[in-house]
Chain A
Amino acid sequence: MIQNLMDGILTGSIISLGAIGLTMVMHMLRFANFAYAELLAIGAYAALVFDRLFAALVPVMDQAFGGLSLTWSLTLATLAAMAITGLSAVLIDWAIFKRIRQKADALSMVFASFGVALIIRNVITLIFGLKAELYSNDIAFAMVLSRDPLLLIKPDQVFVLVAALVLMTIFHLVLSRTTFGFALRAVAENPALAQVAGVPLARIIIVVWMIGGAFSAAAGVFYALTNHLSPLIGHNFLLPVFAATIVGGIGSVYGALLGGFIVGIASGLALQVLPSGYSPAMPFLIILAVLLVRPQGLFGEAEQT
């Protein structure tokens, strides 16, 4: 029970990071982007490439920090992956979504995003193969928190949770203190009014893709660090991040953060009653429950068709 709760919180922090950008682009560009979760996969694999590269160039960087499987090279690789993934997100929008947006309706955008997801996922499979990869082959030992009930936690997991919370706090400070943060929230709430108030919309959209990409990359690396890399990361996180945005209310950044934890914890606790094979379906049940009780989500405005 407590073990499931802890695992759920951890997964929740990863889902939250993935959902922050999704909720913003979904609201600003007004379409459900099914390619979004592939950014997690792009980030995780980009970090793998950079990690190997840095470790090969400067072998001393391949030293793990005590107890963690994290190394200097992986730390730098993660930052590089965040940048690369942010740029990829901007590039994909520019090359595909922006063009379709100009001549077709929102439905075509949703449709195209599925196609883009399929392409990204399988190109990753072609490059890296179907088998699961790890950043480090050293075995990371779990710490025993308690023997009865048995509670285990890996140092990597603690690190991931702390790092995710740090990222969220930084983002919160940006949102609540800076002009850029106000502008971002203004755009998230009402893009047309924000433009009238003098916010350069096109530039903000680019920045939102960058932030979304960077956070997704971090989420992808954090997942891979505590589990493993697989080309299916994007596919597996798609429904959870959508569930998080719907729980929180589309367009609400804080809603997405909270929604991510709710989805993670609910999925973790569900393991008490459901066999793990049903886990992929949990986010769907959560979505159904929200649509039934409060379709606009926790922090969302009532939205018409």
Chain B
Amino acid sequence: MIGIISYLAFFGTVASILAIAVLGLNLQWGNTGLFNGGVAAFFGAGAYGAMMLGGPADPLQFGAFELPYTIAFAGGIFLAALVAWAVGLLTLRLRHDYLAIATFGVAVALEAVARNAEWLTGGAKGMRGFPRPFEGLFEDQFTYNLAFLAFVVLILIAVYVGLERLVRSPYGRVLRAIREDEIAARSLGKNATRLRLEAFVLGSAIIGAAGVLYVSFYAFISPQDMAPILTFQIWAMLIVGGAGNNRGAVLGAFLIWGAWTSSGFLLAKFAPTAVQIYTGPIQYIMIGSVIVGMLLWRPQGLLPERIERTKTGNEAPGKTASQG
């Protein structure tokens, strides 16, 4: 019994962390129409940032300042936001493809840094021993895990409520107007680029926060944790749930993470060993098929966007004037 609850708590914690990242992506893609091809980079920036500030001191490594959790948390978010700001500044005024390519590139570049800059990131073996928050307050691991789940869920709710408010505010309407109508957006001129940049940085900061929670939970981070597949998983979650719908984003996170872990479990349990070594590729094909299949057959996702789409240029039909 405790085993099952333990497992569910574990599952719920990871799924909730991913759901936070999906919410961040939803602000960018769903609400503002910005393509983020490097979700893993911002997730990783958050995780590594927190680890460098709050991790245990290590003579071989720069960073590892053992700073308090709140500072490590804020630092992780800040690093993710900083990377987003730099990339956004260069690309957001150009054709949308450039943002896609640059964000994809930033993920490749940061992964290379994580793998190679041993003095900074611990290299391929990663960094371990992140002091887990509030660990001293609980005597056994089981209650601690439940408390940590509650902590993550609380943050998930806070992010959800905050984003719902934002989306419904006049600010959110402007973001959607930018997404819907390039021409209208262009008439906002410089302003539109600024608004886009803000949404992109805010979304990336939220994805960074998910990264911080991830490293808080596992107390460990390595380049493996920011591999490109993470980006694809988070996209699949958003497109399944329904881009533009925050409830859908959370639902998609739980569904896809459930499908991912259970397919892994089933393959490990029932598939012959010869097939098992291909668990990764099989799961990747699944994720790829989910993305393509959804776009082909149900692009609006399970929970479509509820807010009225902003329409332009078709007010009440005027009467036809004289025809000479």
Binding site for B on A (CB under 8 A): 26, 31-32, 34, 96, 99-100, 103-104, 106-108, 110-112, 114-119, 121-123, 125-126, 235, 238-239, 242, 246, 250, 275, 277-281, 283-285, 287-288, 291-292, 295, 303-305
For residue B284, which residues in chain A have a CB less than 8 angstroms away from its CB?
A: 118, 121-122
Instruction: Give the distance in Å from the alpha carbon of A250 to the alpha carbon of B108 in the complex.
Output: 21
CB of B48 within 8 Å of the partner chain:
no
Q: A107-B96, A278-B112, A303-B94 are in contact. Are A287 and B35 (CB under 8 A)?
A: no
The answer to whether B95 and A305 have CB atoms under 8 Å apart is yes
B199 to chain A, nearest CB (A): 14
The answer to whether A242 and B288 have CB atoms under 8 Å apart is no
In chain B, positions 129-175 with a C-beta closer than 8 Å to chain A are none
Can you report 30 residue pairs joining A to B where beta carbons are below 8 Å apart? Answer: A26-B97, A104-B299, A107-B35, A112-B291, A112-B296, A114-B235, A115-B232, A115-B288, A115-B295, A116-B288, A117-B288, A118-B232, A118-B285, A122-B282, A122-B284, A126-B282, A126-B285, A235-B228, A239-B105, A242-B105, A277-B116, A280-B109, A281-B108, A284-B106, A284-B109, A288-B102, A291-B90, A291-B94, A295-B94, A305-B185
Q: How many residues of B contact A (CB 8 A)?
A: 47
The answer to whether B296 and A96 have CB atoms under 8 Å apart is yes
B165 to chain A, nearest CB (A): 25
Which partner residue on chain A sits nearest B275 by CB separation? Answer: A126
Contact with A along B290-322 (1 / 0, CB 8 A): 111001100100000000000000000000000
Q: Which of A99, A117, A280 contacts B296 (CB 8 A)?
A: A99
The answer to whether B285 and A123 have CB atoms under 8 Å apart is yes
Tell me if B's interface is mostly helix, strand, loop or mixed. Answer: helix
The answer to whether B105 and A110 have CB atoms under 8 Å apart is no
CB of B239 within 8 Å of the partner chain:
yes
B41 to chain A, nearest CB (A): 11
CB of B119 within 8 Å of the partner chain:
no
A176 to chain B, nearest CB (A): 28
CB of B281 within 8 Å of the partner chain:
yes
Q: Which of A111, A116, A118, A285 contacts B109 (CB 8 A)?
A: A285
B196 to chain A, nearest CB (A): 9
B5 to chain A, nearest CB (A): 34
Contact with A along B216-247 (1 / 0, CB 8 A): 00000000000010001001000100000000
B146 to chain A, nearest CB (A): 35
The answer to whether A111 and B96 have CB atoms under 8 Å apart is no
For residue A123, which residues in chain B have a CB less than 8 angstroms away from its CB?
A: 281, 285
CB of B93 within 8 Å of the partner chain:
yes
